[in-house]
A and B are shown apart, each in its own frame.
Chain A
Amino acid sequence: MRHWLRSYLLLLCWSAIRLRYLLPMILVIQTMMSIGIVIGFAFLLPNVDPATALHLTTGAPTLALITIGLVLAPQLVAEAKTAGTFAYNRTLPVPRTAVLGADITTWLVAGTPGLLLGLLVAVLRFDLTLRVSWLVGPAVLLVALTATTVGFAIAYAAAPPVTNMVSQLIVFIALMFSPINFPADRLPQWLQDIHRVLPFESMARAIRESLATPPEGVSMLPFLVLAAWGAAGLAITLRVMARRD
């Protein structure tokens, strides 16, 4: 356990040194994206009723987490694979889970400021009063973990060019065709059915309901869906990391 913790902390330190120039840029991109969603989407919709405002407000931080976990993280892993870093790290005498743990922690930390800023901008813009549940912490953590582990699974299992294409596709689907910034009932039935299995709607619901708790309470189903996706992502990532030719 001491070896694991020592490896984890040293790898975290390595990531922090390596990404210290990139992190401010990630923060700027995320903030701009959150602001873009909150302010830009309001232009598309002439009348922002309270339900729409709530979706945009809680959708912005959800998308911030998706961008970090399912787009930026896998793209950097793909880059690391191309540069040979992945192969090199496999030769280091550290537990694979410590490598993964350090990577996930880095992305969780990288995602937090953008998440908070996005939320702040939305609350100010729409003048909303949120009913925050204690589940908001676990919800944010679970969404971030699921996004990152699924992102890693894609990046570790697929070739780098495929990873880059898939991550672009994910942004596109998440932004335009997922019930994150708008209610699910606006989508055709078949797409609604697909979103019952995909993690995007569950991510949005877990965050929305824990930030603005409905009278009937926070639904647990999205948490279960996300836990299943997260576990699958983790299993695939660890399998690829430990694979021997």
Chain B
Amino acid sequence: MLHIDTLTKVYRRGVRANDGISLDVAPGEVLGLLGHNGAGKTTLLGQIVGLVRPTSGRITLLGRDPVAEPAWARTACSFQPQAQAPLTGVTARQAIEIVGRLRGGGRRAVRRRTDELLAALDLGEWADQAGERLSGGVRRLTAFCMAIVEPGRLVMLDEPTNDVDPVRRRLLWEQVRALAADGHGVVLVTHNITEAERAIDRVVVLDHGRVAAAGSPATLAAGREMRLELTGADDHPAPSWSLAEHREGGRRTFTVAAADAHLAVAWAQTRATRFSLNPVSLEDVYVRLTEEVTGDAALAA
């Protein structure tokens, strides 16, 4: 559906926001785009939707070129930008319905879909309040609904969960999965990595405009260590299988090689009443990856 080949964007002031990025998104797939602030995520989305002109490289969306046809790109692709949506003077329901109709939806179908979305995200009590009175989180959710009320074949969401409460964040991830189940390709930029892990099929980690890693969350974490966490443990020195130890109040955390997991569990059972052993999270992998890349860059310099 979306194919990006060695895409580079250098802004006029010389900032290299994207540097040879290649990636693909298939129909029905949710691609998580991770990266620090300034890693080039928003620039990448801007190029796909025809707002930013690439310096070099090629984008193919549904077999066409969004750079040459920016007006078409905006219809094929629905986009929730990072900036808050304009809701001053309009209610959440009005804004969602108007955008739905601007995207070509029929009056009744859009009304029905708006009702469904407002219910699915539990926004009923704010649906008919003026936009300027809504909290940041509700505004963000409204913008999310505006992006998916009449979704394009590709849906791009730039940090859709900012300011959103934990319960509604889950509801939002469900809607993201529903879009994928309907065959839409989804590109999701988020810093909420731990939660997004459930909604994402594949991850691309960007670092300083380059792809630092790509793959499914499981493959990225494969071969990496596990984490043992003990609550109320004594001060017994760490055994030899411990690769690293971290202590915070009454909580001790050890990094363990996957092969030594059984040793760690056996030891933990004798030392603490509560403990857990988990594979490292996508967030841990992300932090490690970006540190590794930055470290390599420092060495190269």
| A-to-B contact residues, CB < 8 Å | 6-7, 10-11, 13-14, 17-22, 80, 83-85, 87-95, 244-245
Contact = CB atoms under 8 A, between A and B. Distances in A.
A135 to B, nearest CB: 36
Nearest to A94: B102
A245 B85 CA distance: 21
Contacts of B272: none
Interface string B83-103: 111101110001000110111
A244 B79 contact: no
Secondary structure at the A interface, as helix, strand, loop or mixed, is helix
B102 A245 contact: no
B133 to A, nearest CB: 13
Given A95-B71, A245-B53, A88 B85 contact: yes
A35 B71 CA distance: 46
Contact of B99 (A17, A92, A95): A92
A91 B49 contact: yes
Contacts of B51: 90-91, 244-245
Interface residues of B, number: 29
B89 A245 contact: no
Contacts of B50: 244
A84 B88 CA distance: 11
A14 B98 contact: yes
A128 to B, nearest CB: 39
A19 B53 CA distance: 34
B107 to A, nearest CB: 11
A245 B86 contact: no
Nearest to A245: B52
Nearest to B89: A18
B11 interface: yes
A92 B80 CA distance: 10
